[in-house]
Amino acid sequence: MSGLLRGLRPLAFGAEPAGERLARIERSPHYDKEAGQFRNPVAASIRPRPTHGRSALMRALLRSEGRKPAGAVPLARPDLGSPPASGLRLTWLGHSTVLAEVDGRRVLFDPVWGMRCSPFSFAGPRRLHPAPVPLEALGRLDAVVVSHDHYDHLDMPTIRELAASDAHFAVPLGVGAHLERWGVEPARFSELDWHETAEVAGLRLTATPARHFCGRGLRNKQRTLWASWVVAGPEHRVFHSGDTGYFPGFAEIGAQHGPFDATMIQIGAYSEFWPDIHMTPEEGLRAHLDLTGTSGALLPIHWGTFNLAPHPWAEPGERTLTAAKEAGVRAAVPVPGGSFEPSAEDLPGHPWWREPGTRPPEADTPPEAAPGPLKLDRA
């Protein structure tokens, strides 16, 4: 019967953990076996709260004013042909997708090249801009790190293309069930609980707590974990928040794994209707300070690519720059596809969203954004 149900489950939904994987989940200190779900480090409501009544919630969700750019979002084509002079470079590829070059190794966080963050090609949130570069243009990858299994962080077509590379996947506990169903061999990924570490290509990849939730299908059981990540090399270390609400655990992560040369912090898709599971820009700035003080650079992520919340599309960038300036934090806001070295004296800080192009986003997928065959350098 389980095989029949699996066959009826759409491929994009992935797979539910079973067998030894489920047994390992049930042994996790972060899993509530009686409730049948993972626990957050601080209690969080994952359902929208109709703060001012259900009609106010619906009006906010349906409001379109300011939710999309008036013109084309500017893009950059990063030059990845030579290594970073400092040994550390970050390239923001839109939303939460970041290529981190750390001490000679390359780590790709939350890779999403699909035009929609949805199980369907014809419905769901669509990109506000095409992917800045084709996936194959990134070259060699040593590791692919996934924060959790939501569609805007775990994109099945992208994962299936990356399966053709030699990169090793690092994912939270339970997410391996999705990868296996999509053709990634178990030897190709490390599936980690919070506070567990995998050694990959000379880097230490550690899953750390986050305050969020999981799910890809209907009536999801909370049996796949969500995580933030620490990547530490011989000389540099970075932090990627994934999706999370603010919680005091950031200070603990910083004390145990910091200080960080750079943090990549979620500052978009927030709302008063779901305050526990996404941070506002000011909360993201506070998380950065908890993690590393003013010593590291902040790259705001999870904004500017998909329309996922009632706030204006560019508001997260504006609020982050203001909060960072007030706190004395060095924040970088490159255009999608833009690169920077966190140790540089000048970081990309121009508010590019105030100067949109003249071409409105096309209704159809731009030809240059269509994914092609993966040709990653295996050297």
Each residue's pLDDT tens digit, 53-89:
667 666 666 676 777 998 999 999 999 999 999 999 9
For the stretch 271-313, pLDDT in tens is 988 899 999 999 999 999 999 999 999 999 999 999 999 999 9
pTM over 0.85: yes
Q: What is the mean pLDDT of the chain?
A: 90
The whole-angstrom separation of Cα 370 and Cα 10 is: 23
Could you tell me the two tokens for 363?
């209704």
Query: Would you say residue 6 has pLDDT above 70?
Result: no
For the stretch 109-119, pLDDT in tens is 999 999 999 99
Query: How high is the pLDDT of residue 67?
Result: 73
Query: How high is the pLDDT of residue 325?
Result: 97
For the stretch 344-367, pLDDT in tens is 999 999 999 998 553 333 333 333
Produce one character per residue of 317-355: b if its CB has 16 or more CB atoms within 10 Å, e if not.
bebbbebbeebebbbbbbbbbbbbbbbeeebbeeebbee
For the stretch 201-260, pLDDT in tens is 999 999 999 999 999 977 667 899 999 999 999 999 999 999 999 999 999 999 999 999
Query: Would you say residue 122 has pLDDT above 60?
Result: yes
Backbone phi, then psi, for 307, in 5-degree steps? -90, 100
Backbone phi, then psi, for 74, in 5-degree steps? -65, 145
The whole-angstrom separation of Cα 247 and Cα 277 is: 10
What separation in angstroms does the CA of 329 have from each of 80, 262, 268, 283, 292? 27, 11, 18, 13, 10
Query: Would you say residue 4 has pLDDT above 50?
Result: no
Query: How high is the pLDDT of residue 376?
Result: 43
Residue 105 parent element (H or E): strand 105-109
In the chain, how long is the greatest CA-to-CA distance? 61
The whole-angstrom separation of Cα 296 and Cα 301 is: 16
Give the pLDDT band (50/70/90) at residue 175.
Answer: very high
Query: Would you say residue 372 has pLDDT above 80?
Result: no
Query: How high is the pLDDT of residue 40?
Result: 97
Contact 214, 38 (CB under 8 A): yes
The whole-angstrom separation of Cα 81 and Cα 365 is: 28
Percent of the chain with pLDDT over 70: 87
Query: Would you say residue 95 has pLDDT above 80?
Result: yes
